[in-house]
Amino acid sequence: MALVQVIEMNQMINGIVEAVRKKAEEVGITSGVVAICCSDREGFDDERASRKCFKSLLKGEDSLKVFPLKEAGHSFTESLTDELEDFEHFGYAAKAIAAAAKAYHSSQGHELTSRDLHSHMGCGGCVVFPLTINREPCGKIYVAVAGSTERKNELCAWAAYDEIVNKLQVCKTTNPGAAKYGIPEI
Element (H, E) at 119: none
Pairing of strands 2-4, 126-133: unpaired
Q: Coil, strand or helix: which one is 122?
A: coil
Question: What CATH number was assigned to the domain covering residues 2-180?
Answer: 3.30.450
Residue 121's pLDDT is 64
Residue 21's pLDDT is 95
Bridge partners (DSSP) of residue 10 are none
Residue 129's pLDDT is 96
Rounded alpha-carbon distances, angstroms, from residue 91 to 7, 16, 17, 63, 117: 28, 20, 18, 16, 18
Burial 142-174 (b: 16+ CB within 10 A, else e): bbbbbbbebebbbbbbbbbbebbeebbeebbbe
d(CA 117, CA 104): 8
Residue 136's pLDDT is 86
> Domain map of the chain by residue range?
2-180
Q: Mean pLDDT for each consecutive 10-residue tract of the chain (186 residues)?
A: 74 94 94 91 53 74 87 56 64 92 90 78 88 88 94 96 92 93 76
Q: Which pTM was predicted?
A: 0.88
Residue 113 in contact with residue 123, Cβ under 8 Å? Answer: no
Residue 74's pLDDT is 53
